[in-house]
Each structure stands twice: as C-alpha cells, then as structure tokens.
Amino acid sequence: MKVLKKYVAPILAAAVLLGSAANAVAANLLVNGSFEQPGCGSNCVLDTPAKTNFITGWTTFLSGAEYFNVPASIGGSVAADGLVIVDLANYVYGNGGGIQQNFATVVGAKYRLTFSAGNSKFAGRSGDGVVQVKVAGQTATFNTPTAKGVAIEWSTLTYDFTATTTQTTLAFSNEQNPYANFAFIDNVIVERL
C-alpha cells in the first residue's frame, strides 16, 4: 500500500495540475488573442477594405490598424506575448484606427477582459497614448504605460463587464494623432467569471 501511495499520489497530483493548466488556456473566449495568426514579416498596415479580415479572428474598422512583428520593427523590444502586435494609431490616416471581434456570451453572465497595452518613443513618438475599449454597450478608456525610451513598455489591464446579448463585440480603438502617439495592444483574453 505504501508503494501505491508513493507512486500514485504524485501522478494524480500532476494530472490535476495539468488539467487545471489546460482549462486556463482553454478559458479564452477569443480567437487569436495574441494576434500571431497569420503573422507579419515586418510591418503590415491594414488600411484597406481588402485587408479588413487579415488578422485571423479580427476585423479592422475606422482607418484600420498597424500589425507588425516587434523584433523586426523596433529593435530591443518584445511583444507582450509572441512576436506580433497591433498598433491602433494607424499612421497612414489621421482619423483613428480600430480592431474588433465577436464572441459568444451568456446574457447576464459576468466576464473579464485582460489585455496588454504598450507604448514606445520609437520614431519620435511621445511615449504615451490611450486605448479605447467598447464591449457589451460599455466604453472605457485606458492609458498605455508611459515609455521612457524606444523599447516598448507593457502593462496588463483588466475590465469586467456583463453580457447583454448572446453575441458580444469587443472593440479596441484609438483616435489620437498617429504621428505623435502609439497605442499598442497584445495578449487579449476574455474569460467568464
């Protein structure tokens, strides 16, 4: 019996931990929350109707968004998760940029949005910016961290909301001067509470 406890107990504990890890990964209700699919060699400006659905699971709106590989574009910087990120401050047009995704929800259920917001002083930008979030009929504005240099600085932000419909749209946008500000996002997660 001691032999059984000695070997079976650790195996059962490991199985429980692995099951918990699998549930944590599976909990994200969004597709491609770190924007890794399909990827971008350097900088891909998504500013035309033909590019609206370029990022798997997401669609752009307003003047689109910038989608780029961080190590290939801003030396010494890293994405919050993976290699690619979205910049909501699309520099091609001055009327703002955005990205959104629809996902299934349960009316009245509570959810938590978690995402990484970032900024940099690369290319003469100010190092600060805002990210506007619209979800379930609610709107919130978040400041990115203020960057001290060229390397991207990230912060993790959360926002809780209650679903009002069976399909909810999560939208991120920025309407600042794209020649003065960045509004980077990455690692977007929505979980039911």
Is residue 70 helix, strand or coil?
helix
pTM: 0.85
Gap between the Cα atoms of 134 and 59, Å rounded: 14
Domain ranges of the chain: 31-192
- Residues 121-129, mean pLDDT to the nearest whole number: 95
CATH class of residue range 31-192? mainly beta
Return the DSSP state at 108: T
Residues 69, 87 contacting (CB under 8 angstroms): no
Q: Across all residues in the chain, what is the average pLDDT? A: 88
Could you report the per-residue pLDDT of 71-115, keeping only the tens digit for each?
999 989 999 999 999 999 988 777 789 999 999 999 999 999 999
The arrangement of strands across the sheet holding 43-46 comes to 43-46, 65-69, 84-87, 184-192, 110-119, 153-162
- Encode pLDDT of 134-143 as tens digits: 999 999 999 9
- For residue 156, the Cα-to-chain-centroid distance in whole angstroms is 10
pLDDT at 18 over 60: no
With beta carbons less than 8 A apart as the criterion, state whether 167 and 105 touch.
yes
CA angle (176 as vertex; 111, 83 as ends), nearest 5: 60
pLDDT in tens, 141-172: 999 999 999 999 999 999 999 999 999 999 99
